[in-house]
């Protein structure tokens, strides 16, 4: 039996024993009574009765082991030209002092603190300081619209908000404080106060009696010691979009989270303590929580906090410069970042400017990686490129090529196999497992492993209704795909993106995979649009690589033929349009649902997470050229 199969099988047959052994890698103030508590199923809990502190496990534990002089955090800001480093001892001291500042502002164990900040070290310090005293942090992506921030304030009811005067984009300064002030004005719940980090690029006006500058808040504070919390106590709340318009507060517990993330660093990413690991994301997203802050620090790695873009800061070699300069061994980013780099530097010429000899592997997640992009990155970087799949709700990978257990053959387009702990199934609408190669709903058999959401914040019934009722005994991922004969999982699209063309259920992800294989295509998206005759028809949007001189209409003809040749006439793929850019969230997800609503003539609400609202205008213009009309986007949501 292969190492992967042996470990995977044991994780499902004896989850308590398997994760109990993994928990030995974490310091506990009091050992748990039961590794898996199923007394309130389907509300499972891990390590019930145990006590620990996540900040201690991220910082103090490594210092006690004699590694206080090792670098814990490297802050690399291309937009300010700043590089700043913190050893484990230095970071612990900064965190302990800010934890003291939180306590002086009245924050205690169990209180909520919203962190609304850009990619600066103080954001990481604030997160760890909350964990140190047992407060529950909720990080909101910096620059979110006031209305969206207000909904999170009303749901989390924070005692305090930690923010900054501004964020910095390549060509502009984003003033955060007016957005924060407006959000507090809108919200029914009013925080006791705000701590504001003043950045020199844009200072903020403070409100007397409510706001205090970071430096003033910290001045003279006694460092705070770590406070023991129950393993089942919340560490943080992270909000994700809900279908009702009310964001869902994903809860992450302390015990299961620490055990799972520590385990992933070696077993999935194959990094050792002391090595440099970089997740090119944002602390406002789950990737930032798991793999900028907690995962690397729990494992004793050096983590990188990068304030910049994959292209334009200054060029498409930005990522390679960071890897070379800081000795990154493993990197994690979104496929959309690699597609942007490929678009601007299709031959990978900028890669050769840098010494990447220490670089071992590139992991991709956040959106499905098309095979062409994966092959391009592997060929140019000459390292394994691993597409893996997980969600905000799970907090860590569900399927992956676990390099630290047993590297498996890569199948471009597949996120490889289920990670130990996850019993992944593919079901039809009648809850029956489908045959290999047949598309169905991707689900995970309960109980979920440690670190996954145990519930939603103050909303047990909404948690059950959102994730557990569609298939009894299973967690509904919301994704559609299939398993092949080798057990590899292929995530093709969201369930909502499986379109029905004249009674045939077709995956838009499969069509995107075919389109992306065209040599002139940098990235693409396919959505299903309403059709009176066939119910739905696929509509393609294509971004071309830099320097492509061919007639776009000839490229569209090529693409239509490609889909016909690879998927068949049944797809009825006849229409595509070339655009300069695709509308995306700041985390890199393409806004396919919004594009579909524009094409269908439905009312469009500009999402608060959109990276560039102007991209929607371009989509509308392109749609008019191919016979679709764009309604006016509804007001009030754009940042």
Q: Same domain, yes or no, for 599 and 526?
A: yes
- 436 found inside a domain: yes
- 383 found inside a domain: no
Residues 6+ apart with CB under 8 A from 515: 521, 524, 526, 540, 542, 559, 562, 563, 576
- From 319, 320, 269, select the one nearest 295 (Cα to Cα): 269
For the domain that residue 271 is a member of, what is the CATH number?
3.40.50.12780
pLDDT at 283 (0 to 100)? 95
> How many residues are present in the chain?
639
Q: Which of 456, 481, 506 is the last residue of a domain?
A: 481
Q: What is the span of the domain harbouring residue 556?
A: 496-634
Q: What is the largest CA-CA distance in the chain?
A: 72
Pair 112, 135: CB distance under 8 Å: yes
pLDDT at 279 (0 to 100)? 98
Please say if the pLDDT value at position 622 is more than 90.
no
Q: Same domain, yes or no, for 501 and 473?
A: no
pLDDT at 503 (0 to 100)? 57
Q: Same domain, yes or no, for 417 and 559?
A: no
Q: Same domain, yes or no, for 471 and 500?
A: no
The arithmetic mean of pLDDT across residues 519-546, rounded, is: 87
* Entry pTM: 0.85
pLDDT at 87 (0 to 100)? 98
- 422 found inside a domain: yes
**pLDDT, tens only, 297-325:** 999 999 999 999 999 999 999 999 999 99
Q: Same domain, yes or no, for 471 and 612?
A: no
Residues 6+ apart with CB under 8 A from 358: 323, 327, 328, 329
For the domain that residue 586 is a member of, what is the CATH number?
3.30.300.30
Q: Same domain, yes or no, for 273 and 396?
A: yes
Q: Same domain, yes or no, for 553 and 414?
A: no
DSSP 432: P
Q: Same domain, yes or no, for 424 and 458?
A: yes
- 210 found inside a domain: yes
Q: Outline where DSSP puts E strands in 460-590.
A: 474-483, 489-494, 498-501, 504-507, 521-531, 535-544, 575-578
**pLDDT, tens only, 333-354:** 999 899 899 999 999 999 999 9
Q: Which of 481, 511, 528 is the last residue of a domain?
A: 481
pLDDT at 532 (0 to 100)? 67
- 585 found inside a domain: yes
Please say if the pLDDT value at position 555 is more than 60.
yes
The arithmetic mean of pLDDT across residues 485-513, rounded, is: 79
Q: Which of 481, 515, 537 is the last residue of a domain?
A: 481
Run of H or E including 444: strand 440-445
Share of the chain above pLDDT 90, in %: 78
Q: Same domain, yes or no, for 397 and 504?
A: no
Q: Which residue has the tokens 């050893």?
A: 87
Q: What is the number of structural domains in the chain?
A: 2
Residue 55 tokens read as 């900040």
pLDDT at 629 (0 to 100)? 54
- 49 found inside a domain: yes
Pair 529, 628: CB distance under 8 Å: yes
Q: Same domain, yes or no, for 435 and 558?
A: no
Please count the CA atoms within 13 angstroms of the CA of 600 that sit on its side-chain side: 19
Q: Same domain, yes or no, for 477 and 500?
A: no
Using DSSP's 3-state secondary structure scheme, residue 138 falls into strand
Using DSSP's 3-state secondary structure scheme, residue 491 falls into strand
Q: Same domain, yes or no, for 182 and 261?
A: yes
- 325 found inside a domain: no
- 89 found inside a domain: yes
Using DSSP's 3-state secondary structure scheme, residue 484 falls into coil
**46 or 614: which leads in pLDDT:** 46
């Amino acid at each position: 039996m292969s190492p992967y199969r042996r470990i995977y099988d044991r994780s499902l047959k004896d989850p308590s024993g398997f994760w109990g052994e993994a928990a030995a890698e974490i310091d506990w103030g009091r050992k748990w009574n039961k590794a898996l508590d199923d007394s309130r199923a389907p509300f499972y809990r891990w390590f019930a009765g145990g006590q620990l502190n996540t900040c201690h496990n991220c910082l103090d534990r490594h210092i006690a082991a004699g590694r206080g002089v090792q670098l814990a955090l490297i802050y690399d800001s291309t937009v300010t030209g700043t590089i700043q480093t913190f050893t484990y001892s230095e970071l612990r001291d900064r965190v302990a002092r800010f934890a003291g500042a939180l306590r002086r502002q009245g924050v205690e164990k169990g209180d909520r603190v919203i962190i609304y900040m850009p990619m600066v070290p103080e954001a990481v310090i604030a997160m760890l300081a909350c964990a140190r005293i047992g407060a529950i942090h909720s990080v909101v992506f910096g620059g979110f619209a006031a209305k969206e921030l207000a909904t999170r304030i009303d749901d989390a009811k924070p005692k305090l908000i930690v923010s900054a005067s501004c964020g910095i984009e390549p060509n502009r300064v984003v003033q955060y404080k007016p957005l924060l002030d407006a959000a507090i004005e809108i919200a029914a719940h009013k925080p006791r106060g705000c701590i504001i980090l003043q950045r020199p690029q844009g200072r903020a006006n403070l409100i007397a009696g409510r706001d205090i500058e970071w430096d003033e808040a910290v001045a003279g504070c006694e460092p705070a010691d770590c406070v023991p919390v129950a393993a089942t106590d919340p560490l943080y709340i992270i909000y994700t979009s809900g279908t009702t318009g009310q964001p869902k507060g994903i809860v992450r517990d302390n015990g299961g989270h620490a055990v799972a993330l520590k385990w992933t660093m070696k077993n999935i990413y194959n990094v050792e303590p002391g090595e440099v690991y970089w997740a090119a994301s944002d602390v406002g997203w789950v990737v930032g929580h798991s793999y900028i802050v907690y995962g690397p620090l729990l494992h004793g790695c050096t983590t990188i906090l990068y304030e910049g873009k994959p292209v334009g800061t200054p060029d498409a070699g930005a990522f390679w410069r960071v890897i070379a300069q800081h000795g990154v061994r493993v990197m994690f980013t979104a496929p959309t970042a690699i597609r942007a780099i490929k678009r601007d530097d299709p031959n990978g010429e900028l890669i050769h400017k840098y010494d990447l000899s220490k670089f071992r592997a590139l992991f991709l997640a956040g959106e499905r990686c098309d095979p062409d992009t994966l092959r391009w990155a592997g060929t140019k970087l000459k390292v394994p490129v691993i597409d893996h799949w997980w969600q905000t709700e799970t907090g860590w990978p569900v399927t992956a090529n676990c390099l630290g257990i047993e590297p498996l053959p890569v199948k471009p387009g597949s996120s490889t196999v289920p990670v130990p702990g996850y019993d992944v199934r593919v079901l039809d609408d009648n809850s029956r497992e489908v045959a290999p190669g047949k598309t169905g709903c991707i689900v995970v058999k309960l109980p979920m492993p440690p670190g996954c959401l145990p519930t939603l914040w103050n909303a047990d019934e909404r948690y059950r209704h959102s994730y557990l009722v569609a298939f009894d005994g299973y967690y509904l991922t919301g994704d559609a795909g299939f398993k092949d004969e080798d057990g590899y999982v292929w995530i093709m699209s969201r369930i909502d993106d499986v379109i029905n063309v004249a009674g045939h259920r077709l995956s838009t992800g499969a069509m995107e995979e075919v389109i992306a294989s065209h040599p002139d295509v940098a990235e693409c998206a396919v959505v299903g649009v309403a059709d009176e005759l066939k119910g739905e028809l696929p509509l393609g949007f294509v971004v071309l690589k830099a320097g492509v001189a061919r007639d776009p209409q000839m490229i569209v003809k090529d693409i239509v033929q490609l889909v016909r040749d690879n998927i068949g006439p049944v797809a009825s793929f006849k229409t595509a349009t070339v655009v300069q850019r695709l509308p995306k969230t700041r985390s890199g997800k393409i806004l396919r649902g919004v594009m579909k609503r524009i094409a269908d003539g439905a009312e469009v609400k500009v999402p608060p997470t959109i990276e560039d609202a102007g991209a929607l205008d371009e989509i509308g213009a392109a749609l008019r050229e191919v016979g679709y009309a764009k309604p006016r986007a509804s007001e009030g949501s754009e940042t």
